[in-house]
A and B are shown apart, each in its own frame.
Chain A
Amino acid sequence: MKSINRYFFTDMGVMFGRSMRHIFRSMDTIITVSITPIAIMLLFVYVFGGAIETGTENYVDYLLPGIMLMTIGSGIAYVAYRLFTDKKSGIFERFHSMPIARSTVLWGHVLTSIISNGISVLVVILVALLMGFRSSAGILEWSAVFGILSVFTLALTWIAVIAGLAAKTPDGAGAFSYPIIFLPFISSAFVPTDTMPSAVRVFAENQPVTPIVEAIRNLLANQPVGNDIWVALDWCIAIIVVAYIFAMRVYKKL
């Protein structure tokens, strides 16, 4: 890589400001992103919740971490969509023919994704509070929770970058997020894995959602997180590295 452009941070600021404007001018996307996870949360707490044995007093407390991940899963579909629109509209070409630090074009979207998904997650947490969610976590634990969520968002965002840049249609750009939204169902997000048939259980316990959910759940309950947090971070970092490499490859071919 050549020396970092001296305008990197200026350009970055402009790109970030641009896509943040998109977020604030279409706040409905925040609602759209949070509404499905909230609906699922309501459904599970008030319909199925009574019949689910989690060993915790309050099912919302158990459920919330998985719902947070689901929210991020549906939020990144918009990242892919916004990138797709930029590619199609030719605005990428305009930027690329200008004397700017090229990578900032992508990084602007990536940073925005972290902020906008953070806002969506906050909305979900507010609703959970209304539903009786309580946490004994302190500032340190909450910071750790948001740290994990940010790294998770970053990982999914780089996958979204690949999808958005490689897609041929706007629908195609967002389609990759469905399996990701579904992933928490086959994890310990909704119910403990003990009652699952062994094949499903092996999958559930060894996919990234479970350690992330467990780590967040223990942090929020002010319990020791053990090894889960490291497994969770390993997963996220591995996904970031692989997705970033592929995303850059696709980006350079544009």
Chain B
Amino acid sequence: MKKNIIQIKGVKKSYKDVEVLKGVDFKVEKGSIFALLGSNGAGKTTMIKIMTTLLKSDAGSVMIDDFDVEKNPREIRDSISLTGQFAAIDEVMTGRENLQMIAKLRHLKNPNQVADELINRFGMSEAADRRVGTYSGGMKRRIDIAMSLVGNPKIIFLDEPTAGLDPETRLEVWKIVKGLSDAGTTVFLTTQYLEEAEQLADKIAILHGGKIIAQGTLEDLKKLFPSAKVEYVKKQPTLEEVFLAIVGKKEDK
């Protein structure tokens, strides 16, 4: 039995009169990928903000890496990193400078070396010395995630990591996320795409109406539905598959 690195019990949060979270419970196993699935406005970002010490909950308990968010936010910040919904990068600085800045703020001994390593790992050596303001959306997302990896935090929170990305970049982000989990990092992500949760997550929780209405592995969740009917349907390629096939051919590395 693996250790639960995140334990959430009965978390409630209201904004003025609107009750966004009405008692949320879930657990995340160490080293796993956990997807919090929900539609827009379901409270996914609120949940992430509470776990990353940005927001205080009204009730309930949140334990991250054995620390209580209420009592030990500092210790928690040492072991987490957050990639928010919008690329939180300094656009006036270069990619390299952004990475170095985060490394310095994590008080690492060799910020320049850490930055270089991540630049290589993410294949960004060409763009690294350009200002981030000139990057494409996909590039920004990449540097954004790279910044979250500085200092190898134990848990990485990704708030809708692929929102607004083209299909190609989305696949790339998926690859990064899987790679993180293979290296033992716990990944907590939110998404509104079922496919994303299906592709990536070891465990999925569905947040709806302020509560977790279902959680478990993909298999567990599938069992909640009536058994599948067998039907023969001619499968047309989706536009996404067509796009990726064409683009993939062109840029085969």
Task: Give chain A's interface residues, CB within 8 Å of chain B.
Answer: 7, 10-11, 14, 18, 21-22, 25-26, 89-91, 93-100
CB-based contact A96/B54 at 8 Å:
yes
A104 and chain B: residue at smallest CB distance: B105
CB-based contact B78/A99 at 8 Å:
yes
Q: Which of A10, A25, A99 lies in contact with B92, CB distance below 8 A?
A: A25
User: With A22-B92, A26-B92, A89-B89 in contact, is A97–B81 under 8 Å at CB?
Assistant: yes
CB-based contact A14/B93 at 8 Å:
no
The docked-state distance in angstroms from the alpha carbon of A91 to that of B84 is: 9
The docked-state distance in angstroms from the alpha carbon of A97 to that of B131 is: 24
Decide yes or no whether B247 CB sits under 8 A from chain A.
no
Q: Which applies to chain A's interface (DSSP): helix, strand, loop or mixed?
A: helix
Interface size class of B (residues with CB under 8 A): 20 to 34
Q: Which residues of B contact A10 (CB under 8 A)?
A: 104, 107
Beyond A25-B131, A89-B89, 8 additional contacts (C-beta under 8 Å) are A18-B90, A89-B88, A90-B85, A93-B84, A93-B88, A97-B82, A98-B102, A99-B106
CB-based contact B74/A99 at 8 Å:
yes
Report B66-100 residues with CB < 8 Å from chain A CB.
74, 77-78, 80-93, 97
CB<8 Å pairs between A and B, sample of 9: A10-B104, A14-B101, A14-B105, A90-B84, A91-B89, A93-B54, A94-B147, A97-B82, A98-B105
Chain B window 213-248, contacts with chain A (Cβ cutoff 8 Å), 1 for yes, 0 for no: 000000000000000000000000000000000000
CB-based contact A98/B77 at 8 Å:
yes
Q: Which residues of B contact A90 (CB under 8 A)?
A: 84-88
Q: Which residues of B contact A94 (CB under 8 A)?
A: 82-84, 88, 147
Q: Which of A21, A89, A91, A97 lies in contact with B52, CB distance below 8 A?
A: A97
Chain B window 102-137, contacts with chain A (Cβ cutoff 8 Å), 1 for yes, 0 for no: 101111000000000000000000000001000000
Q: Which residues of A contact B107 (CB under 8 A)?
A: 7, 10, 99
CB-based contact B81/A98 at 8 Å:
yes
CB-based contact B82/A93 at 8 Å:
yes
Decide yes or no whether B169 CB sits under 8 A from chain A.
no
Q: How far is the CB of A74 from chain B (nearest CB, A)?
A: 21
The docked-state distance in angstroms from the alpha carbon of A21 to that of B81 is: 25
Decide yes or no whether B53 CB sits under 8 A from chain A.
yes
Q: Which 9 A-B pairs have the closest CB atoms?
A: A90-B88, A97-B82, A99-B77, A94-B88, A90-B84, A97-B52, A91-B88, A99-B78, A14-B104
CB-based contact A98/B84 at 8 Å:
no
Interface-centre pick from B90, B93, B105, B107 (highest chain A CB count, 10 A): B105
Q: How far is the CB of B99 from chain A (nearest CB, A)?
A: 13
Q: Which residues of B contact A100 (CB under 8 A)?
A: 77, 105
Q: Which of B78, B86, B93, B104 lies in contact with A89, CB distance below 8 A?
A: B86
Q: Which residues of A contact B52 (CB under 8 A)?
A: 93, 97
A105 and chain B: residue at smallest CB distance: B105
Q: Which of A21, A26, A97 lies in contact with B80, CB distance below 8 A?
A: A97
CB-based contact A18/B82 at 8 Å:
no
The docked-state distance in angstroms from the alpha carbon of A99 to that of B78 is: 5
Q: How far is the CB of B91 from chain A (nearest CB, A)?
A: 8
The docked-state distance in angstroms from the alpha carbon of A131 to that of B8 is: 68
User: With A7-B107, A10-B107, A11-B105 in contact, is A21–B92 under 8 Å at CB?
Assistant: yes
Q: Which residues of A contact B87 (CB under 8 A)?
A: 89-90
Q: Which residues of A contact B91 (CB under 8 A)?
A: 89
